Amino acid sequence: MSRRGVERGFTLLEILVVLLIIGVMMGMVVLSVAPRDAGKVAREELGRFKGMLELASREAMLEAREWGVRIAKDGYEFLVQDEKKTWQPPPSGERILQGRNLPEGWRIEWSVEGEKQDKEIKPEDPPQILITSDGEMTPFELEVEVEKRRGVREGYRLSAGVTGRVRVEQVERP
């Protein structure tokens, strides 16, 4: 039996697997460095805040105790009223209702019961928004403006009525 020379090289299948791996890696790199759409981030954050408000409203009714929201220029936090009528952060089991910081560069304005809020908020201040155990909420509006592209700004409004109904909508900017 004669032995033929061993041929060296890659099979077509091996080359295709390598190209597939390179393609997946390139896709991951592009997704990780591509800038996120600021408008989409704002919609997601306000949608999250809306969900948190609705959850806090349900918790207030189920637990028969008052909840509150304190809003500042850089974020918001949920508080719960204890038996001594003092405002405390939610119990550690309520991880969903922990405070959040808003991304830098956002311009926010809010009004509570039609009155614009512009004073500096201190940690000892009571919450501006009250969520009662019967499902009612202090009416308020929160407007967020973000820079979508250089020179193009986009705005969104989250509003809540006394019945606890919360809406998020886009606001026209000139």
Residue at 140 is within a domain: yes
Residue at 10 is within a domain: no
Evaluate the CA torsion angle 77, 65, 55, 108 in order and state its sign: negative
Residue at 21 is within a domain: no
Whether the CB-CB separation of 127 and 141 falls below 8 Å is answered with: no
Instruction: State pTM to two decimals.
Output: 0.73
Taking only the tens place, the pLDDT of each residue in 100-155 is 888 877 888 888 988 888 778 887 888 999 999 998 999 999 988 887 767 777 88
The CATH number of residue 135's host domain is 3.55.40.10
Place of tokens 């850089």: 74
pLDDT, residue 140, reads: 93
Whole-angstrom Cα distance, residue 70 to residue 77?
5
Whole-angstrom Cα distance, residue 50 to residue 102?
14
Residue at 32 is within a domain: no
Per residue, the 3-state secondary structure of 89-153, as one string, reads CCCCCCHHHCCEECCCCCEEEEEECCEEECCCCCCCCCCCEEECCCCCECCEEEEEEEEEECCEE
Residue at 24 is within a domain: no
Domain that holds residue 105: 38-171
**pLDDT at 38 > cutoff 70:** yes
Residue at 16 is within a domain: no
Pairing type for strands 87-88 and 75-81 reads antiparallel
Residue at 12 is within a domain: no
Whether the CB-CB separation of 154 and 38 falls below 8 Å is answered with: yes
Number of domain units in the chain:
1
Instruction: Round the average pLDDT of the chain to a whole number and report it.
Output: 84
Residue at 22 is within a domain: no
Q: In this structure, how many other beta carbons lie within 10 angstroms of the beta carbon of residue 57?
A: 23
Whole-angstrom Cα distance, residue 97 to residue 37?
25
pLDDT, residue 67, reads: 93
